[in-house]
């Protein structure tokens, strides 16, 4: 028997197993969205030409078998599907990440379907997809007050009620329909630990009483992606704008690829980011990056995963750096006169003002158009050595004149004495220095 036939029979058996699950399920109208989410887990498209659409309790799932495949290959079809009832949230949440869509196509989506409801409002965690590096949590909100204003905080807790040592991001909820149903996702990165075996998601109304919160607890199946991590050694050094950057390794997971890079300690500049960074395969497809964890000596850069579509060739490309000379990192500023000592020549003081207990300082930065970094500072101290922290940043990208503006809100700094000393933490200055290196594909 050929490998192709074995794969085909395995797929057929998996579909039959999942059909049995669905035949035993009750799918009331109120749970239509949940059925759609579960249907994604069945995504396998090799026999879609032979599928018959039968109006039964599994019809929504069967439709998804076709839809998720078409979403990946046909933007026009995706736009059509997006107009169908109940499909808007699914399409909008998976269409921007090729790797995540392929992971979902491989039945890695875990159904959750747990709801906390009180005071006329509810939070439902519909499903998750996770591996050792990342978890994406899909949720639905109903009846929340002003969710479009983003007045909610989120906590992620382990089974002991402790906050997970993770980084995560989420957008302000946006209306998915006129019915007041809000769908979105939480994107979680694991750097210090593995996904928990049990997870609690807590939504809290910002500024409200402690009882105004919604808590959902559910198990996490880590076995679906166990042993799927692939480490690909790279060990190549490139020189960009005179700065040496060592590419150590690529770690490939079902949900993303993590590229570990290190900046040479003898570089003359501190690097804050790499411009237009992407991985390009032999077909010219670009696997994008949308975030990175930057440290003083290097970073871990996150790309879309090509785990289930292994390229024959990958090229790492970029167009330059965001960096500042190391001897220009520390500035001293007199908030009253605006006099600056140190810092890049493109950084100019505009004005400062006191806002309550905080001090707000505004700067302009020349030649910062299309920047990948904003202006920020760390290690802020006054002339007496008293430390201060930034509690808010404002950033206005450059217009036709190429000048950008930044507003730095320094907490409790209205009482600062003398000059403020600050170290640049990120800066929008851009150098144009295109580069490319080959990345081995076979781990």
What does the pLDDT read at residue 146?
Answer: 63
Cα–Cα dist 102/93, whole Å: 13
Same domain? For 267 and 349 the reply is no
Name the token pair of 425.
């933490």
Percent share of the chain, pLDDT over 90? 46
What is the per-residue DSSP string for 233-292? EEEEEEEETTEEEEEEEEEE-SS-EEEEEEE-TT-SEEEEEEET-EEEETT--EE-EEEE
Same domain? For 319 and 340 the reply is no
Q: Which of 90, 107, 124 is the last residue of a domain?
A: 107
Name the token pair of 8.
């085909």
**Residue that has been written with the tokens 């750096």 in this structure:** 321
What does the pLDDT read at residue 400?
Answer: 63
Same domain? For 83 and 173 the reply is no
- Name the nearest CA neighbour of 102 among 251, 308, 311: 308
Is the model more confident about 70 or about 121? 121
Same domain? For 15 and 100 the reply is yes
Same domain? For 296 and 435 the reply is yes
Cα–Cα dist 140/138, whole Å: 7
Q: Please state the separation of Cα 140 from the chain's center in Å.
A: 19
Kindly report the number of other CB atoms within 10 A of residue 222's CB atom.
15
Cα–Cα dist 121/113, whole Å: 16
What b/e string do you get for 376-393 counting C-beta neighbours within 10 Å, with b at 16 or more?
A: bbeebbbeeeeebebeee
Integer angstrom CA distances of residue 189 from 166, 249, 404, 419: 6, 18, 31, 39
399-430: pLDDT as tens digits: 667 788 899 999 999 999 999 999 999 888 77
CATH number for the domain that contains residue 289: 2.60.40.1640
| Of 53-67, 134-148, 380-394, minimum mean pLDDT range | 53-67
Same domain? For 271 and 363 the reply is no
Same domain? For 435 and 307 the reply is yes
Same domain? For 414 and 344 the reply is yes
pLDDT at 43 over 60: no
Q: Which of 107, 125, 140 is the last residue of a domain?
A: 107
Name the token pair of 273.
């980011």
Cα–Cα dist 32/196, whole Å: 29
Contact in structure between 62 and 56 (CB atoms under 8 Å) = no
251-272: pLDDT as tens digits: 999 999 999 999 999 999 999 8
Q: Which of 60, 86, 107 is the last residue of a domain?
A: 107
Contact in structure between 424 and 310 (CB atoms under 8 Å) = no
Domain that holds residue 215: 111-226
pLDDT at 109 over 60: yes
What does the pLDDT read at residue 289?
Answer: 82
| Of 290-299, 301-310, 341-350, minimum mean pLDDT range | 290-299
- What is the tally of structural domains in the chain? 4
CATH number for the domain that contains residue 145: 2.60.40.1630
Same domain? For 294 and 435 the reply is yes
Same domain? For 305 and 316 the reply is yes
Same domain? For 405 and 336 the reply is yes
pLDDT at 276 over 70: yes
Segment 87-108 mean pLDDT: 74
What does the pLDDT read at residue 92?
Answer: 67
Contact in structure between 416 and 382 (CB atoms under 8 Å) = yes
pLDDT at 211 over 70: no
**Residue that has been written with the tokens 């144009």 in this structure:** 432
Same domain? For 140 and 188 the reply is yes
Cα–Cα dist 278/72, whole Å: 20
Mean pLDDT, rounded, of the chain: 77
129-173: pLDDT as tens digits: 999 999 999 999 888 766 555 578 899 999 999 999 998 888 766
Name the token pair of 73.
């290959």
**Residue that has been written with the tokens 């909610």 in this structure:** 152
Name the token pair of 84.
């169908």
């Amino acid at each position: 028997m050929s490998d192709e036939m074995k794969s085909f029979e395995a797929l057929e058996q998996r579909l039959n197993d999942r059909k049995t699950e669905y035949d035993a399920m009750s799918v009331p109208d109120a749970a239509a969205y949940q059925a759609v989410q579960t249907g994604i887990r069945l995504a396998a498209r090799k026999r879609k030409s032979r599928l018959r659409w039968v109006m039964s309790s599994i019809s929504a799932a069967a439709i998804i078998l076709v839809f998720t495949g078409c979403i990946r290959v046909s933007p026009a079809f995706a736009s059509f599907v997006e107009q169908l009832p109940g499909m808007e949230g699914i399409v909008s949440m998976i269409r921007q990440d090729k790797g995540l869509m392929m992971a979902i196509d491989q039945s890695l989506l875990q159904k959750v379907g747990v709801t906390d409801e009180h005071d006329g409002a509810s939070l439902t965690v519909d499903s998750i997809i996770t591996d050792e590096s990342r978890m994406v949590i899909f949720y639905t909100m109903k009846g929340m007050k002003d969710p479009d204003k983003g007045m909610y905080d989120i906590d992620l807790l382990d089974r002991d009620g402790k906050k997970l040592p993770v980084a995560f991001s989420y957008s302000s909820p946006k209306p998915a329909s006129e019915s007041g149903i809000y769908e979105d996702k939480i994107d979680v990165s694991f750097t210090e630990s593995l996904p928990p075996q049990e997870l609690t998601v807590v939504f809290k109304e910002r500024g409200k009483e402690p009882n105004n919160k919604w808590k959902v607890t559910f198990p996490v199946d880590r076995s679906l992606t166990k042993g799927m991590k692939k480490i690909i050694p790279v060990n190549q050094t490139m020189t960009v704008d005179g700065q040496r950057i060592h590419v150590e390794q690529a770690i490939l997971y079902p949900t993303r690829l993590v590229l570990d890079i290190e900046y040479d300690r003898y570089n003359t500049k501190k690097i804050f980011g790499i411009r237009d960074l992407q991985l390009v395969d032999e077909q010219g497809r670009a696997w994008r990056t949308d975030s990175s964890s930057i440290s003083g000596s290097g970073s871990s850069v996150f790309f879309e995963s090509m785990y289930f579509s292994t390229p024959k060739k990958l090229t790492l490309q970029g167009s330059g750096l965001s960096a500042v000379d190391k001897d220009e990192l520390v500035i001293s500023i007199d908030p009253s006169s605006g006099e600056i000592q140190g810092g890049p020549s493109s950084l100019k003081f505009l004005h400062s003002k006191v806002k309550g207990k905080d001090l707000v300082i505004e700067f302009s930065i020349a030649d910062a158009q299309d920047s990948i970094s904003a202006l920020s500072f760390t290690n802020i101290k006054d002339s007496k050595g008293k430390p201060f922290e930034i509690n808010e940043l404002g950033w206005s990208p450059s217009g036709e004149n190429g000048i950008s503006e930044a507003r730095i809100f320094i907490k409790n700094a209205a009482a600062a004495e003398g000059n403020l000393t600050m170290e640049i933490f990120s800066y929008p200055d851009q150098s144009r220095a295109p580069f490319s290196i080959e990345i081995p594909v076979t781990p």
